[in-house]
Amino acid sequence: GEDVEQSLFLSVREGDSSVINCTYTDSSSTYLYWYKQEPGAGLQLLTYIFSNMDMKQDQRLTVLLNKKDKHLSLRIADTQTGDSAIYFCAETYNQGGKLIFGQGTELSVKP
Amino acid sequence: GAVVSQHPSRVICKSGTSVKIECRSLDFQATTMFWYRQFPKQSLMLMATSNEGSKATYEQGVEKDKFLINHASLTLSTLTVTSAHPEDSSFYICSAGQGGGAFFGQGTRLTVV
């Protein structure tokens, strides 16, 4: 079945870059998403990438997709303390449809 | 991005009562919405797909008589937790798709005492 894997924790210093990694198994995935969840809150869509793209950049965020290895990464440049949260990657074969989520990576940014 | 609003954000109810959670797409129409459940420190698990004008599709292991879903309009889906028990306490969150993105509500923290 479909599976999405993430490392559980990442700790960086303020100002450094953060790279959160994700692997997935479903080769029919067409959309891959990154969400941010702060404590007690819902999910905020950060960015998404279509499977025929290799890279997408949006301000401090860069998404890299290696479809051959089924590997997705999210790079946050100049990480701030406000970036501390749990980051989920998710995939779907149907745009805007039901998502399969990874376990979430807890990002801790130290001043 | 598109806005999905969920209400209430937090609810405490007594065991045996029913609780209704609303999910609205505020600036777009959604023929399909999705309901997820999230346990503390865990990921989101899809519970069901809510289809406007027809029956919801439930994931394996989710009791459809326990979690009633109604999608009566293109902007509103409701999840009713019937005869709630403490083990139903969780974070429930809905989503709807628009323009390739999947947008989530703020979530509802349900506590059954």
Q: In whole angstroms, give the CA distance from residue A80 to residue B62.
A: 39
Whole-number pLDDT of residue A95: 60
Measured between beta carbons, the chain A residues lying within 8 angstroms of B6 are 42
The closest CB to that of B100, out of A31, A40, A44, belongs to: A31
Give tens-digit pLDDT for B58-70: 999 999 999 999 9
Q: In whole angstroms, give the CA distance from residue A106 to residue A84.
A: 8
Phi, then psi, of B71 in degrees rounded to 5: -130, 75
Mean pLDDT computed over B77-99: 94
Q: Which residue has the higher pLDDT, B2 or B8?
A: B8
Which stretches of chain A drop beneath a pLDDT of 70?
Answer: 1-2, 94-96
Mean pLDDT computed over B27-46: 91
Mean pLDDT computed over B74-99: 94
Q: Rounded to a whole number, what is the distance in Å from the CA of A32 to chain B's nearest CA? A: 10
- Asked if the bond preceding B8 is cis, omega within 30° of 0, the reply is yes
Contact A42 B43 (CB under 8 A): no
Measured between beta carbons, the chain B residues lying within 8 angstroms of A33 are 101-102
Whole-number pLDDT of residue B14: 97
Average pLDDT over all residues of chain B? 93
Whole-number pLDDT of residue A3: 87
Closest chain B residue to the Cα of A5, Cα to Cα: B43
Whole-number pLDDT of residue B107: 93
Give tens-digit pLDDT for A72-100: 999 999 999 999 999 999 998 766 678 89
